[in-house]
């Protein structure tokens, strides 16, 4: 859906690694979460605004992750986020963790938009048209 990717830098700290200095597998999910948060903020809709003003929050519904190469202590990584699909209450994202342009980890994240009662809500009805358009516009992903 979106051709361009949002990019978020991440430095690997000691706390992110195991005893061998390799990034612990679950921390890639944390890196992806931080990148999604900054992506939303860059679109002008942080989590607090989405929930407090629009009554919508995003929750991870599914995640498929492939670990290709290890990241190590002190590596400078970049997390790319692209929109693959938006339909109904679902937002499907492609996220990649890169080191110097080389993919280390790829993820397909399925988010669901939830209302205040934690029921699925259609994104196009619940959120401002400008936000929905930004999700659909190449170069804004």
Catalytic residues: 18
Planar angle of CA 82, 41, 137, nearest 5 degrees = 40
Residues 88, 123 contacting (CB under 8 angstroms): yes
Residues 56, 113 contacting (CB under 8 angstroms): yes
CA atoms within 13 A on the CB side of 102: 10
Hey, what are 57's tokens? 């929050």
| Edge-to-edge strand ranges of the sheet holding 6-11 | 6-11, 76-87, 90-99, 102-114, 57-67
């Amino acid at each position: 859906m979106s051709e361009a990717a949002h990019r978020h830098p991440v430095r690997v700290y000691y706390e992110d690694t195991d005893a061998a200095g390799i990034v612990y597998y679950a921390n890639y999910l944390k890196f992806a979460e931080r990148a999604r948060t900054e992506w939303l903020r860059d679109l002008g809709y942080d989590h607090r605004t989405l929930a407090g003003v629009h009554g919508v929050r995003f929750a991870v519904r599914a995640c498929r992750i492939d670990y290709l190469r290890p990241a190590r202590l002190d590596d400078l990584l970049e997390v790319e986020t692209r929109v693959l699909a938006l339909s109904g209450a679902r937002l499907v994202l492609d996220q990649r963790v890169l080191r110097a342009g080389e993919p280390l980890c790829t993820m397909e994240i399925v988010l669901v938009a939830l209302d205040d009662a934690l029921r699925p809500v259609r994104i196009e009805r619940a959120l401002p048209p400008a936000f929905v358009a930004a999700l659909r516009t190449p170069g804004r992903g």
